[in-house]
Amino acid sequence: MTPVIRLAEYARKDLRQVEAIRLANGMSPSSVFGIGGEERMKGFLSFFNKQLQSVGLPEISPNDSAKGRILSNKELDNRLILSNIWESEIVAYPVWTGTLVAFNEAGKILGDVIRYTDKQYVPDPLRGHEGHSALKEGTGSTYVFEVPTEYRNEKNAVLVVEHGFLPDGQPTFSFQQDGKNVLVDVTDKSKIVLLSNFPAANQKYYIVEAQHGIPLGSEVYVPYSISEGDPSARELYLMHSGYGAYAGLLVRKANRVIIEGRRDDRWKVFTYSGLERLGALIEPILAR
């Protein structure tokens, strides 16, 4: 059985979306963190090498690879809902999943490209540090996802690509910086899946489809009690800037404190700002 380890932990050795994908794709820590990021790289290596040691794998250096497949939304759903594995991993949550989605505003066709611009945050000394409690100022990077020709006239649909590696070792997708834009580069376009009937309403429950665990279709009533309602229903919870078009990874959470028998954040599928720093779980691949 392939071991699963933490690539990052929330509020400790956490990573932005682009950083998580680049590290998982095999870019060296020195390349990912770059000039000015030496302290963050040092902290990452100290943390990640302990993770590798815990499963009997060799340590890496700044110029080595931390390559690994980020667990998908569906896999994390199984860990959060269908088992108690999440309890031993809770320090990692919230986590970036390896499930990348792209969708447009409700009622609009997908078009040639989907663009999503993150908000830029600055620290607010009166309210806390970078994150939800910070002030917004201007805009951050714009994620650009090229829509396959055959899907460009689709409405109320979501495009899905899972993180992983092709037989030749190339990642299924990567993030390429182009000025203010981050291009979502899908290596093999046949890996892009179209799912229809993507819901427009936020913070509502929907039945998820089987392969990727994406909420689809019409809203369903789900009470707080786990023993009631459809067990395959999950809440779609949009937290990205503007709540409209989006291109980025899905996010999953686990509550530190739970009320037995009640639904909590584990039953929610989130979108997030790529500027947030979150955890990630990976299956490591030895590559130097």
pLDDT over 50 at 76, yes or no = yes
**In 10 A of CB 135, how many CB atoms?**
11
pLDDT over 80 at 98, yes or no = yes
How far apart are alpha carbons 22 and 27 in whole angstroms?
6
97 near 212, Cβ under 8 Å? no
Give me the pLDDT at residue 275, please: 86
- As a whole number, the mean pLDDT across the chain is 89
Mean pLDDT of all residues in 78-104: 94
pLDDT over 60 at 48, yes or no = yes
Number of independent structural domains in the chain:
1
Mean pLDDT of all residues in 96-123: 89
pLDDT over 50 at 92, yes or no = yes
Q: What letter does residue 98 receive in the DSSP assignment?
A: E
Comparison of pLDDT for 251 and 239, the residue scoring more: 251
Phi and psi, residue 234, nearest 5°: -135, 150
Q: Which of 57-61, 261-265, 267-271 has the lowest mean pLDDT?
A: 261-265
Please, which contacts does 259-266 make with residues 24 or more away whose CB atoms are closer than 8 Å?
261/225, 261/226, 261/227, 262/224, 262/225, 262/226, 263/222, 263/224, 263/225, 263/226, 263/235, 265/94, 266/80, 266/81, 266/86
pLDDT over 80 at 256, yes or no = no
How far apart are alpha carbons 231 and 207 in whole angstroms?
9
Give me the pLDDT at residue 122, please: 55
- Which tokens hold the place of 275? 């500027």
pLDDT-derived band of residue 267, with 50, 70 and 90 as boundaries? Answer: very high
For the stretch 127-179, pLDDT in tens is 544 444 454 544 578 999 999 999 999 999 999 999 999 999 999 999 999 98
pLDDT over 90 at 126, yes or no = no
Give me the pLDDT at residue 133, please: 47
User: What is the domain extent for residue 151?
Assistant: 5-284
Give me the pLDDT at residue 115, please: 96
212 near 192, Cβ under 8 Å? no
